[in-house]
Amino acid sequence: MSKRIVAITACPTGVAHPFMAAEALEEEAKKRGYWIKVETRGSVGAKNALTTEEIAQADIVIIAADIELDLSRFAGKKLYKTSTGAALKKTAQEIDHALTTQTVFKSNSATTQSHSGKAELPGVYKHLMTGVSHMLPLVVAGGLCIALSFVFGITAFKEPGTLAAALMQIGGGAGAFGLMVPILAGFIAFSIADRPGLAPGLIGGMLATSAGAGFLGGIVAGFIGGYSAKFVADNVKLPQTMEALKPILIIPLISSLVTGLIMIYVVGGPVAAAMAGLTHFLAGMTSANAVLLGVILGAMQCFDLGGPVNKAAYTFGVGLLASQSYLPMAAIMAAGMVPALGMGVATFVARDKFTEAEREAGKASFVLGLCFISEGAIPFAARDPMRVIPSTMAGGALAGALSMLFGCTLMAPHGGLFVLAIPNAVGHVGMYLIAIAAGTALTGLMYAVLKPAMEVQEA
């Protein structure tokens, strides 16, 4: 029997995963003769938006998202939640699970259970990624504005009234970078408690910034603000005539007081000390420590190609940008470019081991790699994970280690090689390119050697 499916795909960075997952869902549904429409939530907002009529006519709603979304428009519909990674790599299985679930979504329910068991991401991780996704535009804009201010000289921004000073003000603590931590905290809390969580999250984030607790303090503030707002919303009961006061007076006041007092008297000091210690450690790293950190971050970045481990390393690098620690982000982006670039190299140097379709996919993968979209390697990893993943991790570890060893820095958390067009966005550009090229070569050649010839593979 033909089915009608509507879906949403979304992830924190919103560059590749939502669109690749959407394409996979569409292809699998068409194979089965189902009607499907997928709304993608990427870095440029919602595309291919679902209409009220399409939702009403749908037999099932699939939410493949790594961040929290407002699902109120799906109240009363059968709804299945999973991750973008599962929708991309196990598409047929996820559609089967979606069609067999009998869960009806209620707009006031905090969560909707996923019948795949392991497919849906843990709540804490999803809340964190929701905050990171809203913080990213500020990091990009702020980092590049600061880099542009250096075009006029490294200390030119100290001269009041100059364009360099204005660029530094826009990107620095008075502008984008000053908002980073409050936005991170605010949207972590929003993910937990919806709109009532915004006020305590933002306030806690500002207190973390003023205390010098940095992004670690922002993360703590976000969870305190979100869960305190949720606790008040769920447990404070008022007469029906006064219920309207809850979201605009009771919840913001109590949760903001709880968050603020905990940040000031309990959490702020220790987290600020931890953040200062981390910053001091990164600033005073020896070559051996730097290389080891680069190996770890590079390998993490290439382990699951946009999954939780990858995002953990990425979040670490992004958070340190606000503390003017630019070395880890450079290592992370260098390593993140390697998987997709390496698969492109492998299909070129070992052409006889790949089908024509795989060679074409390799060309697309190489272009995605140049853009710092490691998900370009996912089609290869899905078909041959035991050979692809070790190859990508080895190349990523090498690229990350060399980037740290060479002292390369990066002011922006995305853009791949295209950030080289921004003066001073990358420090030690020549050595940075060598790090990326070395990691790419290792991944490409390693996989080219490990991959069996087609005759052996098909036998």
Q: 312 with 220, same domain?
A: no
Q: Where are the alpha helices (DSSP H) in 263-307?
A: 268-283, 287-303
Phi/psi of residue 281, nearest 5 degrees: -60, -45
Among the candidates 282, 305, 321, a domain finishes at: 282
Whether residue 182 lies inside any domain: the answer is yes
β-pair partners for 39: 8
Whether residue 225 lies inside any domain: the answer is yes
Among the candidates 247, 282, 317, a domain finishes at: 282
Q: 210 with 347, same domain?
A: no
Q: 184 with 310, same domain?
A: no
Whether residue 113 lies inside any domain: the answer is no
Q: 323 with 435, same domain?
A: yes
Q: CA angle 124-127-128, nearest 5°?
A: 85
pLDDT digits (tens, 9 = 90+) for 245-269: 888 889 999 999 999 999 999 988 8
Residue 115: per-residue pLDDT = 41
Whether residue 217 lies inside any domain: the answer is yes
Low-confidence ranges of the chain (pLDDT < 50): 109-120, 456-459
302 a catalytic residue: no
Rg value, the chain, Cα: 23
Structure tokens at 407: 């002292």
Q: 405 with 432, same domain?
A: yes
Total domains in the chain come to 3
- The residue range of the domain holding 131 is 123-282
318-321: long-range pairs with CB below 8 Å, 24+: 318/132, 318/135, 318/136, 318/139, 318/215, 318/413, 319/184, 319/214, 319/215, 319/216, 319/218, 320/215, 320/278, 320/279, 320/282, 321/139, 321/142, 321/143, 321/177, 321/180, 321/411, 321/413
455 vs 138: CA distance, rounded Å: 51
Q: 40 with 187, same domain?
A: no
Residue 68: per-residue pLDDT = 79
Q: 135 with 262, same domain?
A: yes
Of the residues 11, 145, 302, 408, which is catalytic? 11
423 vs 243: CA distance, rounded Å: 55
